[in-house]
Structure 1
Amino acid sequence: MRAVVVREAGGPEALELVEVPVPTAGVGQVRIRVEAAAVNPVDALTRSGALGAAGLLPPRDVVGIGWDVAGSIDEVGPGVRGFAPGERVIGVRDRLDVTLGTYADFVVLDAAAVAAAPARLSAAEAATLPLNGLTALQALDRLVLAPGATLLVTGAAGAVGGYAVQLAALRGLRVVAYAGAADEEFARAVGAQWFVPRSGDLAEDVRALVPGGVDAALDTAVLGVAALGAVRNHGSFVSVVGGAAPVPLRGITVTEQWVAADDAALARLSALAEDGRLTARVADTMPLAEAVRAHRRLDDREVLRGRLVLVP
């Protein structure tokens, strides 16, 4: 089968499309025939060697790329219940110790990292759900906000931020969305009560809408202390990038969100997408063989609304 790997860390050209043996599902695992794999910023960090330098990736000669997958069950390992060959699924590879990623023709995942795919979505759309949706969902769970509480979401038009706004609104939270001015219509359409464009002073603009500051912030744009200024004293703050959280000033509880595979949470996301309550956005689809070009687009910081998705 084909798989995209890195032998020597570097730019997009470090990605290699190679032939490798088809992996076998072990105990508690399933093998998925990949129909779509989303391209995420963490993939570029893996490719560039940044994760390895941070001590998050064990040293090895070959590094697989890709976290998100949508496809169909191809093989069910011993001890797995609830999945059958041919079933459409979504999954996330959150284990960095395994050799191959989801940029491949097949991928083996723990069954606990897989859930049924939403039938109404295409494979490309479904592939944008696992990593970004789980990150948003688990960050909101960490904040523990009651209905009616106020929440600032930075990067509200991005892949994680867009899901965060929708999931927060579904919980009855009053959301302040922070994004580019052109994204106001989208942010309001998916549930934001207020909108703050990037052109002004974030903390002052938010406090003009919510006197005293919001109860919490979910910082998907990694603004750090600039977003912290919009939060009230003794509020809550979650950063979705490790090592980017600001100092917990003014009694604010500051935490970092590290995504974890969770089949029950994936099933919740899939059900919401199936009901039309989560909007999946695909910026473009590209063949697996063009992974290098996809990463060039990622590195060029092309303005994308949704994810690039690789397909066989």
Structure 2
Amino acid sequence: MNAEEQTRAVVAEGYGGVDVLREVTVPVPEPGPGQVRIRVEAATVNPVDLATRSGALVEAGLMAARARTGLGWDVAGVVDRIGAGVRAFETGQRVIGLRDLLDVSLGAYAGHLVLDAGAVAPAPPGVDAVAAATLPLNGLTALQALNLLGLSAGDTLLVTGAAGAVGGFAVELAARRGLRVVAQAGATDEEFVRGAGAEWTVDRAAEDLATEVRRLVPGGVDAALDAAGSGVRAHAAVRTGGAHVTVVGGAVPLPLRGIRVHRQWISADGAALAELAALKLTLRVADVLPLERAAEAHRRVAEGGLRGRLVLVPSPGAA
């Protein structure tokens, strides 16, 4: 394959509703030194893609406005070209990766994607590309957020949005570390969060989250991982001197009562991703759509209520 060959991609031309999404033909990207090119088999649709398309990230000062913006952070596929200096991967190898650069013209919604080798990891063994594509962004977000809290086995943790993509991984990873988890989730999701390792559950409809949590854990939990944007409601459930990490947009609570507060900003980490891939975590797929139905996927994500991620797959022969 040479640089003159073409690949199909879905991008945002301008910012706004799903009408700005365009299916385009672009040159197949070439990897530079330290990079690998992946033939995309699956790309996950995440809320950050909707925020990118709408222009919300431009308004927030997180990226510059551009005429054409690439979409898609998660990728699973096969390495088909290697840049100079890369020794960790070989052509034909199945991999997963994370694009954490916002200001790009081509993302994972494409037939091919180039990533730095440090953002790539071997795919989970025995897992198909569709399921594997759901791991990078949400799994790394949960892992990095947990690491910020500095908890030890036996400590207590509140996870809000525990049935969501980040929250589900957070519950599972926390339980594997020996943490005692209070999971905030809807009644219909209790079986899932219990299966992921939660010791207690709090109904997401509860009006007074802190009171409910403190009823289960007198004095408050050692930390909160806020994957639902609960803000001060989750913060109030934490004991004096505990820790709180926010993984979604919105204001970070003030460090009242000596509570350490953090906002977790995702960063690609191939080594950590390889560790996650080896853990055989629960990977949830809500549905699979062809790449050209990206607009439909964006509408469904915006409607909410999904359990697992929507995954886009390039059509055969699209590259």
Residue matched to 2:275: 268
Residue matched to 2:65: 59
Q: 1:121 to 1:244 in 2, by over 3 A?
A: farther
Q: Which runs of 5+ in 2 are unaligned?
A: 1-6, 315-319
Report if the CA contact (8 A) 1:242-1:257 is conserved.
no
Task: Indicate which of 135, 139, 151 corresponds to 2:157.
Answer: 151
1:250 and 2:245 are equivalent in the alignment = no
Greater shift, 287-296 or 190-199, is seen at 190-199
1:307 and 2:316 are equivalent in the alignment = no
1:124 and 2:107 are equivalent in the alignment = no
The alignment covers a number of residue pairs equal to 307
Letter in 1 for 2:103: D
Report if the CA contact (8 A) 2:161-2:185 is conserved.
yes
TM-superposed deviation, 1:119? 1.9
Equivalent residue runs for 1:219-230 within 5 Å: 219-230=226-237
Residue matched to 1:294: 297
Report if the CA contact (8 A) 2:153-2:177 is conserved.
yes
RMSD: 0.9
Residue matched to 1:142: 148
Task: Indicate which of 208, 216, 220 corresponds to 1:213.
Answer: 220
1:25 and 2:64 are equivalent in the alignment = no
State the SS of the aligned residue for 2:153: coil
Residue matched to 2:21: 15
Residue matched to 1:241: 248
TM-superposed deviation, 1:242? 4.0
Counterparts of 1:117 and 1:143, CA distance in 2: 27
TM-superposed deviation, 1:59? 2.7
TM-superposed deviation, 1:264? 0.7
Report if the CA contact (8 A) 2:69-2:103 is conserved.
no
Residue matched to 2:92: 86
Greater shift, 112-121 or 246-255, is seen at 246-255
Residue matched to 2:83: 77
Deviation sequence 1:18-61 (CA, Å, 0-9, x none):
00000001000000000000000000000000011111112322
Letter in 2 for 1:4: V
Letter in 2 for 1:297: R
Letter in 1 for 2:155: A
TM-superposed deviation, 1:82? 1.6
Report if the CA contact (8 A) 2:285-2:309 is conserved.
yes
Greater shift, 196-205 or 289-298, is seen at 196-205
Deviation sequence 1:56-95 (CA, Å, 0-9, x none):
1123221000100000001000010121111000000001
Residue matched to 2:114: 108
Percent identity reads 65
Letter in 2 for 1:281: R
Q: Which runs of 5+ in 1 are unaligned?
A: none
